[in-house]
């Protein structure tokens, strides 16, 4: 299994620079729940509820130390974590840092990636990351997609008293 990322670009992007687009990050193999999410994104795009999406596969673990560091991927993950932290949210878990033993006597720090992560963009602005948590409530990718399918701009009615976080939440003007 490769430790590198691989991107497949959508999926008929309509070219509206301000419309909602999703970057879906998945671990290999792309099957089961991962293909279900891709199918739902495709249906949303076809229905006009989404301008486009891309799918990027990432490794199960990313080296944080040593010669195998993937700087570009780590910078993207840091951007996601900073976005969440600015809104009082966390992406951990499912991101998890641990020490992995590679050979007898050798180890390195690694970041375990989630099976699925969706980053929502309006134009160039990151407006949502799923899953995320405020420590009490976790917002999932299925909840986010349910809200889009219902035409509820990332605020599903089934989310109880907490709506799904978006760019306008947790910020002050």
Q: Domains for the chain: give ranges and CATH numbers.
A: 6-159 (3.40.30)
Contact 101, 86 (CB under 8 A): no
Summarised one tens digit per residue, pLDDT across range 5-16 is 555 554 444 444
H or E element, residue 61: strand 61-63
pLDDT tens-place string over residues 158-169: 333 344 555 434
Q: Are 94 and 80 in contact (CB under 8 A)?
A: no
pLDDT of residue 109: 87
Long-range Cβ contacts of 91-99 (<8 Å, 24+ apart):
91/117, 91/129, 91/131, 91/132, 91/133, 94/131, 97/64
**CB-facing half-sphere around the CA of 51: CA atoms within 13 A:** 13
Give residue-wise pLDDT tens across range 72-128: 999 999 999 999 999 999 998 888 888 877 677 678 888 999 999 999 999 889 999
**Structure token pair of residue 101:** 């033993």
Residue whose pair of structure tokens reads 């986010």 in the numeric block: 144
pLDDT score of 130 more than 80:
yes
Model-level pTM? 0.79
User: C-alpha 75: how far from its chain's center?
Assistant: 14
């Amino acid at each position: 299994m490769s430790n590198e990322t691989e991107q497949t670009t959508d999926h008929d992007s309509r070219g509206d620079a301000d419309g909602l687009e999703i970057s879906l990050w998945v671990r290999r193999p792309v099957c089961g729940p991962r293909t279900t999410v891709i199918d739902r994104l495709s249906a949303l795009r076809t229905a006009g509820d989404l301008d486009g999406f891309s799918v990027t596969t990432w490794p199960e673990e990313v080296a944080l130390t040593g010669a195998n560091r993937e700087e570009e991927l780590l910078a993207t993950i840091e951007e996601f974590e900073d976005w969440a932290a600015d809104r009082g949210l966390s992406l951990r878990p499912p991101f998890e840092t641990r020490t992995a033993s590679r050979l007898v006597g050798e180890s390195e720090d690694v970041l375990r990636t989630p099976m699925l992560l969706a980053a929502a963009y309006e134009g160039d602005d990151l407006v949502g990351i799923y899953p995320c948590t405020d420590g009490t409530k976790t917002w999932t990718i299925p909840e986010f997609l349910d809200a889009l399918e219902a035409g509820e701009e990332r605020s599903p009615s089934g989310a109880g008293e907490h709506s799904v976080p978006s760019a306008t939440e947790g910020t002050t003007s």
